Amino acid sequence: MNLTLKIWRQKDSKSKGQMVDYKVTDISEHMSFLEMMDVLNEQLVNTGEEPVAFDHDCREGICGMCSMYINGEAHGPDRGVTTCQLHMRMFKDGDTITIEPFRAKAFPVIKDLVVDRSSFERIQQAGGFISVNTSGNTQDANAIPISKHAADEAMDAAACIGCGACVATCKNSSAMLFVGAKVSQYALLPQGQVEAADRVLNMVAQMDAEGFGNCTNTGACEIECPKGISLENIARMNREYLSASLKG
Amino acid sequence: MALDSKVPEGPIKDKWTTYKDKINLVNPANKRHIDVIVVGTGLAGGSASATLAELGYNVKAFAYQDSPRRAHSIAAQGGINAAKNYQGDGDSNYRLFYDTVKGGDYRSREANVYRLAEVSANIIDQCVAQGVPFARDYGGLLDNRSFGGVLVSRTFYAKGQTGQQLLLGAYSAMNRQIARGKIEMFNRHEMLDVVIVDGKARGIIARDLVTGEIERHSAHAVVIASGGYGNIYFLSTNAMGSNATAAWKIHKKGAYFANPCYTQIHPTCIPRSGDYQSKLTLMSESLRNDGRIWVPKNLEDVKAIREGRKKPTDLSEDERDYYLERRYPAFGNLVPRDVASRAAKERCDAGYGVNATGEAVYLDFASAITRYGIEQAKIHNISNPSDAKIYELGQKIVEEKYGNLFQMYEKIVDENPYKTPMMIYPAVHYTMGGVWVDYNLMTTIPGCYCIGEANFSDHGANRLGASALMQGLADGYFVLPYTIGDYLANDIRTGKISTDLPEFEAAEKEVSDRINFFINNKGTKSVDYFHKKLGNIMWNKCGMSRNAKNLEEAIKEIAELRAEFWKEVSVPGGDKEFNEELAKAGRVADFLELGELFAKDALNRNESCGGHFREESAEESGPQKGEAKRDDKNYAYVAAWEYKGEPANAVLHKEELKFNDIELKQRSYK
């Protein structure tokens, strides 16, 4: 198929950006979206132009590195996938595809489609851990039974890949789904209980300090999340936050 | 220099404990004055960084991605082994040790492997304490599954995302130390050289991948945890950015590189579909617990399937050849990876491949779905369930176990694997070879360590499933933090290492010169052009099956390609900016050298062992006809190569492998 691409080009964080049109031809429907981008970049390199910068790494939907806002949707039109797993069979010959970076105040653009998500790092550093040293003397892994239900729910929350689609898609640029997922994972496990109150207060404080917006329950994040992280995690975080504040 | 593995004396069961009791320690007050650089933040580097920081060292950690959480350990699916014997099926440290040495085709160092087995149980304890949500049974205890090459269930897992969960565990431990200021994290940075002062590793030269600035970083020890070099094949299951640069740079500065030809070609990957393909996707080995591998018995059926006249589900049981079950009745679909891969290649080479390229076999879940369905019907007291009901119940169980893998397959191939068998074919997945290290995990450069997939030590010539995660975390959490202390104990009076030393200046100049060359070369061909060409040579001549003629050709062709690269490579953009092409150029330049050493090593090893299959060395008759034939008399050694200017001039050093606790015999899975 032949396509027209409208892509955000921005030299660096200080420069002004703009949409630029490109054409690609003979794109196979079996290609992944990023392989289509590879074709474009090979074309650009061969004509001495600078290729379009975009983040990507594992290309199997788990590292969370790839982003891109495609035709107005984080990770594009398919559901339950990251951009690297999006396939060209979702598009048809003659389509025009608009490709922008994830946009949020807390995700400044580094170059073209690459954004700086270090705000997510700082939120995790504020409390996304259980304070246990490596010792080799930790109690046996089976010492505390954990109900299958709780373990499975914790796993579902822990499946977050930290890509930032929830933020990019939210009209308030809220990071509640991302933070809620981490808070939930630990809140559901006995090991996470000791620090639960401090964790939720510190992570939420950092989230606010980074300039992420508030949640107004539109649920767009849940729909766009490539890993299907449930809104339930935001509710759980709110409960944790409330009870931690009251204990305060 | 003679290779000294520094394996402690004494019985194998006591070596590690006795050794730990006797090595030097650094007192907590002194640790505060000692800096350690860790390059790479996957399971090995991440766990090492966190643990070293907990102990009190000042850690500087480097990742080329925008966060440690993106390291490619995250993509490991199936699980992590540990000799917990929770299933009471006869597991023990010795059995895990035995299975790993046997699985590695007797080409690993016994003492290292035993230590790995010994600390494996601690890893699970540690991870559970960190909040890793492993799968559990209804009683609330940890669940296990089986992996290839073993007869027990010792694999712990978190759905099909075990690597992700373990990495996020290590990442959380790192975050705690980053918050305390004990780890200084350098994301989007790439190490481009090691700096050696008075014969010791004392720092690195790194490039900030956003600004393009070249930076000097000093430390009392340098740890390389940069993963494997599977991307030398261009197409592999590795992440796009995975590279050998850090490992190759230390090799060029004195670290020996061991067994580069030991590559793991994983049997269950999604087959390639076209020339545009950028990477291959793995389907976890855990699928072989429940999936049965087959091709049609008759070539007419193969033809009909390829032409779309027949579907795989149209073939009756006796029209199918479950070739692994046929050839290896004892282990069946759970033979080790190298054996399963070669068997798939054998069938496809004989013309039985089931897709258009002729390079695919079926992985079929129908019997597992039925088996689980019948069991569920019993559990739920459903009498006389219909076939459809059984299928529905069974599908639910399979979905619970492998849901994300099935979804991934469907997204890529556009076929529903619950209804029609998956198509799979082997792909490059892991490299057992790597930087040579002694028992302390130190390379031949004093003060320079290498851990995880980047080193060579534990998997011999073939790695068993679910052992990579085990090794990464064992090295980082439980081994290196002890052994590095023994070395650093001599550095308590050294004080801060200055980055103004002439050695730093020289190393930085070398790095800058190379970058300037790339930017100014203005050749005619892109970096990917060379990378793809190299990949083709590697796959066709150093792939699943190797012979002297092909390897000699490969050596010549790679050297020619390298010469062309340095003439014709074109890198757009500038050096002081975000420039992925520039980063890629440096990595491919290193692959072009490593590739030649790889072929040279494969040529030298005229025996078949594990993932290294030499056509000249196969069983000619008897029940093992066609199987790999090892040559213990001549090749029971680690081939450690010393850099001498060009890969062609590399000098071979041999570490003889002694087996005191395991009898060497032919690996049989029949």
Tell me how crowded residue B487 is: count the other CB atoms within 10 A of its CB.
19
Which of B337, B342, B562, B667 is catalytic? The answer is: B337
Percent of chain B past pLDDT 70, that is, above it, reads: 100
Identify the pLDDT of residue A248.
63
**Positions in chain A short of pLDDT 50:** none
A-chain residues within 8 Å CB-CB of B171?
A: 124
B-chain residues within 8 Å CB-CB of A12?
A: 577-578
B-chain residues within 8 Å CB-CB of A76?
A: none
- Whole-number mean pLDDT of chain B? 96
Q: Do B131 and A32 touch (CB under 8 A)?
A: no
Tens digit of each residue's pLDDT (9 = 90 or more) over B641-670: 999 999 999 999 999 999 999 999 888 888
Tens digit of each residue's pLDDT (9 = 90 or more) over B331-344: 999 998 999 999 99
Candidate from B140, B161, B570 with C-beta closest to A147: B140
Flag whether pLDDT at B513 surpasses 90: yes
The pair phi, psi for residue A38, each rounded to 5°, is -60, -40
Q: Which of B64, B74, B116, B270 is most worth mutating to test chain A (most A CB atoms within 10 A of its CB)? A: B74
Identify the pLDDT of residue B1.
63
In A, minimum Cα distance to B572 occurs at A50
Flag whether pLDDT at B626 surpasses 80: yes
Q: Do A185 and B133 touch (CB under 8 A)?
A: yes
Q: Count contacts between A and B (CB, < 8 Å).
A: 214
Question: Please, are residues B406 and B418 in contact by the beta-carbon 8 Å criterion?
Answer: yes
Identify the pLDDT of residue B260.
98
In B, minimum Cα distance to A60 occurs at B281
Q: Do B171 and A124 touch (CB under 8 A)?
A: yes
Flag whether pLDDT at B450 surpasses 90: yes
B-chain residues within 8 Å CB-CB of A132?
A: 126, 129-130, 173
Q: How many CA atoms within 13 Å lie on the side-chain side of B153?
A: 12
Q: Which of A119, A123, A134 is most worth mutating to test chain B (most B CB atoms within 10 A of its CB)? A: A134
Tens digit of each residue's pLDDT (9 = 90 or more) over B83-104: 999 999 999 999 999 999 999 9
Please give the Cα distance from A20 to A16 (Å, whole number): 13
In A, minimum Cα distance to B278 occurs at A35
- The predicted model gives B549-578 an average pLDDT of 97
Regarding predicted confidence, which is higher, A31 or B274? A31
Q: Which of B143, B185, B411, B524 is most worth mutating to test chain A (most A CB atoms within 10 A of its CB)? A: B411
Tell me how crowded residue A246 is: count the other CB atoms within 10 A of its CB.
8
The two tokens of residue A38 are 């590879």
- DSSP annotation string for B203-232: EEEEEETTT--EEEEE-SEEEE-----GGG
Query: B652 pairs with which residues across the strands?
Result: B641
Identify the pLDDT of residue B667.
82
- The predicted model gives B23-29 an average pLDDT of 95
Identify the pLDDT of residue B158.
94
Tens digit of each residue's pLDDT (9 = 90 or more) over B189-212: 999 999 999 999 999 999 999 999
Please give the Cα distance from A54 to A187 (Å, whole number): 35
Identify the pLDDT of residue B487.
98
Q: Which amino acid is at A11?
A: K
Candidate from A38, A64, A126 with C-beta closest to B278: A38
- DSSP annotation string for chain A: --EEEEEEE-SSTTS--EEEEEEE-S--TTSBHHHHHHHHHHHHHHTTPPPPP---SSSSS-S-----EETTEET-SSSS--GGG-BGGGS-TT-EEEEE----TTS-EEETTEE--HHHHHHHHHH-S------S-SPPTTSS---HHHHHHHHHHHT-----HHHHH-TT-B-HHHHHHHHHHHHTSGGGSTTHHHHHHHHHHHHHHTT-B---S--HHHHH-TT---THHHHHHHHHHHHHHHH-
In A, minimum Cα distance to B187 occurs at A118
Question: Please, are residues A200 and A237 in contact by the beta-carbon 8 Å criterion?
Answer: yes
Q: Do A45 and B481 touch (CB under 8 A)?
A: no
Q: How far is B452 from chain A (nearest CA, A)?
A: 17
Q: Do A141 and B172 touch (CB under 8 A)?
A: no
Q: Do B481 and A134 touch (CB under 8 A)?
A: yes
Q: Do A148 and B47 touch (CB under 8 A)?
A: no
Question: Which helix (H) or strand (E) element contains residue B200?
Answer: strand B200-208
Identify the pLDDT of residue B275.
84
Question: Which helix (H) or strand (E) element contains residue B654?
Answer: strand B651-656
Q: Do B131 and A189 touch (CB under 8 A)?
A: yes
User: B292 an active-site residue?
Assistant: no
Q: Do B282 and A60 touch (CB under 8 A)?
A: yes
User: Which B residues, 495 through 534, put their C-beta within 8 Å of a C-beta on chain A?
Assistant: 526, 528
